[in-house]
Amino acid sequence: MRLSPQWGSLTEPANGRRSCRRPETTGRVGPRAREAPRILALDEPLGALDALTRIEMQRLVEQVWLANGFTAILVTHDVTEAVTLGDRIVVIDHGAIAADILVGLTRPRLRGSAEFAGVEAKILGRLLAATD
C-alpha cells in the first residue's frame, strides 16, 4: 500500500507490525543516505526509561551529538535532563517563551556539582514562580 511519494510505503514486517518508512531510511544509496542530519528533533525520547537507563541514553545522545555536530531540539519536562543535554534551554508556558537560558557548563556535565545545581535551581525557580 503506497502512502505518498515523500513517505514511501507501508510495510508489513515478519512481526506483523506495520511501519512507515521515509525513502531516505530504506537503505538506498543516494545523496541523502550519505549525509548526516543537520537537525535532530526529539520529543520526550527518554521519558519511559528507568533512571539508570535514562542516564546511559543521555550519555549516548551526547556522544552522538559531539561526534556529528548536528543541531538537536529536545522536548523534555525533566529539568535535570535539560541541563545535562542542553546548551540553551527554552521554557514555553501557554505557547509563549517564558525563559531562554544559556547553559554555560563544560562537557561532560557533572551531576551533583555546584554549577550544575545552580543552573537547575535557576530553571526551577522560573518554573515555580510561573505557577504562583
Q: Tens of pLDDT along 6-29?
A: 444 444 445 455 444 444 444 555
Domain boundaries, the chain: 1-35, 37-131
pLDDT at 11: 43
CA–CA separation, 89 and 102 (whole Å): 6
Instruction: Grade residue 130 by pLDDT with cuts at 50, 70 and 90.
Output: low
Largest CA distance in the chain: 56
pLDDT at 10: 42
Residues forming a β-bridge with 92: 97
Instruction: Grade residue 132 by pLDDT with cuts at 50, 70 and 90.
Output: low
* Counts of helices then strands in the chain (DSSP H, E): 4, 7
Q: Which of 60, 107, 112, 114 is nearest to 87 (CA)?
A: 107
CA–CA separation, 50 and 53 (whole Å): 6
The CATH superfamily assigned to 37-131 is P-loop containing nucleotide triphosphate hydrolases (3.40.50.300)
